[in-house]
Structure 1
């Protein structure tokens, strides 16, 4: 049975310019749901967009999986007046409904987890022809005429005695092919509801919404942290191995400065079977040469969605995020900083990273910070 995910994206956003591509906790907003979809039970995930830069991003960023593909949608389906159903049907007809289950995922719902997607898919194995995600709210609702809609004001219930209402949160919709073809709608006639956390009800329509959702995501990632023995160390490069400065000549990048003590620290870690991995957003021949000198084999260059790649690494290595220590210094490291077992940052890192890291080193980047971090890891692992 073929189950496909579908993430529609448009260039335009009136409330927040370039909303889908803007960095939420250091990664483009749409990659939050895309990353979860990659590790869900979906067989294929289609990003349907009129933005060529997103197509280029996906082609480059997710080369390690054959599960994701980006498709250019028509201008008509990406207009302000076109409905999501219009885009869905346009794509489905273009592939002659070559699937068994269709799952609509909204990019503006960054709280979606792979488990939410999987539960919706599982519902279709029962007697349901469609499923959607909801949130249970305990708020009292009124209409504009002053009439209470979901409770008796003269017998106000206590919160713990109040069932509340289920509200559609717009995150996940799954439906069978037969239902979609017959109804031309994301939902059929026999609908299952799947509850998600209350935070997922937040919509991102303003700068205030953005700030609230970003902080909630940071706290969610932190609360899921667990501390286990560190088996893997993942490092950024610029601002970690180096002080963040680069000298240029007319021919391009010329030099980066590295601290020899850092190399010794990493060598000692490897002697204790701690795997060292480098993950950087830059494509630099100088970095390649330095990592070869340090005998670091796992080097990932040009990575923009570091969190999804990290999750793929831990899946392949059969470990958890709790076994990972991560050293980063800037906003593109932020999701990893908030998620791994131990997050570490140099003393001269950006304020937002220092605020959210578990350990702020006394040394600056390019001046012994990695060596200090290696010593911390060695001391920490002694308890195991």
Structure 2
């Protein structure tokens, strides 16, 4: 069964400007669901957008997978009055409905997990022609006329005795080709429901919503950590290897300062069978030369979505994120800081990273922070 994931994105946003591209826990909002879709059972993931910056981002960022494709949608499908179904059908018709299952994914639902997508897809094999994600809420509902809708106020049930209501959370919808052609809608005639956690009911329509969802996401990532031996250390560069500053010559060339003791710490750590990797958003020849000098083979330059790449690396290696230690200093490291087995940050890192890292090192970046992190990992691994 050929299944296609479909993420419609529009450039405009009324409540929160540039919402889809804005950094949620240090990564663009739309990459939360895109990353999960990449690791799902979907055969292909289409990002359908009128934003050429997003198209350029995807073309540069996800070269390590053939699963993702970014396409420019028509002006008509991106207008304020166009429905999501309009965009779905526009794309489906452009490929002559060359698929068996269609999966609509909403970028404003960052709580979506790979498992939610796979479960919705699996329902199409169980005599359902479509499926959607829901949340079971135990709220008591009323209409505007003061009439209760889902309980008797004279016999108020206890929460544990109340079945509640299933509410559509707008995260994932799957539908067969035949049902989409017939109904021209995201849902068919025989709909299955797939429950997601209550947190996923939060919508992102205001700055307050953004703050709440971001905090919930960070706490979710932290809860998934486990205590395991550290097999891999992943390091950012600027603000970790260096003090975060750049010196320019009169000819425009720039230089960076590296602490030689950090290099020795990494050499010693590798003797304890810990693999060292570099992951930086900067694509710098100078950095590449320094890492070559340190004989580090796993160097990833110009990475903007660090979390999805790191997750892909762990899957390929057959390890868990909990086997990884990560050292970063700024917001683009934040998701990894919240997700890996042990996260460490230099003493002069940004405040938000220091708030969420497992360990705030006593040394500053470019002044022994990496050497200190190496010593911590070696001591930690002794218990295994």
**What TM-score comes out, normalization by structure 2 length?**
0.99
Matched, 1:326 2:326: yes
Q: Aligned residue for 2:192? A: 192
1:222 is paired with a residue of what secondary structure?
helix
CA distance in 1, matches of 2:38, 2:214: 22
What does 1:104-143 align with in structure 2 at a 5 Å threshold?
Answer: 104-143=104-143
Residue 353 of structure 2 aligns to a residue in which SS?
helix
**Are 1:79 and 2:76 an aligned pair?**
no
Q: What CA distance in whole angstroms lies between the structure 2 residues aligned with 1:251 and 1:341? A: 43
**Counterpart of 1:33?**
33
Q: Does 1:92 align with 2:92?
A: yes
Distance 1:250 1:12 in 2: 42
**3-state SS, counterpart of residue 282 of structure 2:** coil
Q: Could you say which residue in structure 2 is the equivalent of 1:42? A: 42
1:264-343 → structure 2 map (5 Å cutoff): 264-343=264-343
CA distance in 1, matches of 2:18, 2:227: 37
Equivalent residue number for residue 382 of structure 1: 382
CA shift for structure 1 position 97: 0.5
Could you say what secondary structure the match of 1:7 adopts? strand
Equivalent pairs counted in the alignment come to 384
TM-score, structure 1 normalization: 0.99
Helix, strand or coil: the match of 2:343? strand
CA distances 1:101-129 after superposition (whole Å, capped 9, x unpaired) = 00000000000000000000000011100
For residues 187-231 of structure 1, give each alpha carbon's deviation from its aligned partner in whole angstroms, at most 9, with x where no partner exists: 000000000000000000000000000000000000111120000
The 3-state SS of whatever aligns with 2:217 is helix
Counterpart CA distance in 2 for 1:194 and 1:378 is: 43
1:254, CA displacement in angstroms? 1.6
2:175 corresponds to which residue? 175
Residues 64-91 of structure 1 deviation map (CA, whole Å, 9 limit, x = unaligned): 0000000000011000000000000000
Structure 1 residue 144 corresponds to structure 2 residue 126? no
Q: Judging changes above 3 Å, is the alpha-carbon distance between structure 1 residues 208 and 81 closer, same or farther for their aligned structure 2 residues?
A: same
Q: Is the 8 A contact 1:283 1:301 kept in 2?
A: yes
Q: Is the 8 A contact 1:246 1:253 kept in 2?
A: no
Q: What displacement does 1:27 show?
A: 0.2
Where in structure 1 do 4 or more consecutive aligned residues deviate above 2 Å?
Answer: 249-253
Tell me by how many angstroms 1:250 deviates.
Answer: 5.0
Secondary structure of 2:179's counterpart equals helix
Once the two structures are TM-superposed, the CA of residue 252 in structure 1 deviates from its matched residue by 3.6
Query: How far does residue 248 in structure 1 lie from its aligned partner after superposition?
Result: 1.8
Q: Is the 8 A contact 1:242 1:365 kept in 2?
A: yes
Partner of 2:70 in structure 1?
A: 70
Deviation at 1:273, TM superposition (A): 1.3
- 1:8-45 Cα shifts (integer Å, max 9, x gaps): 00000010000000000000000000000000000000
Unaligned runs of 5+ in 1: none
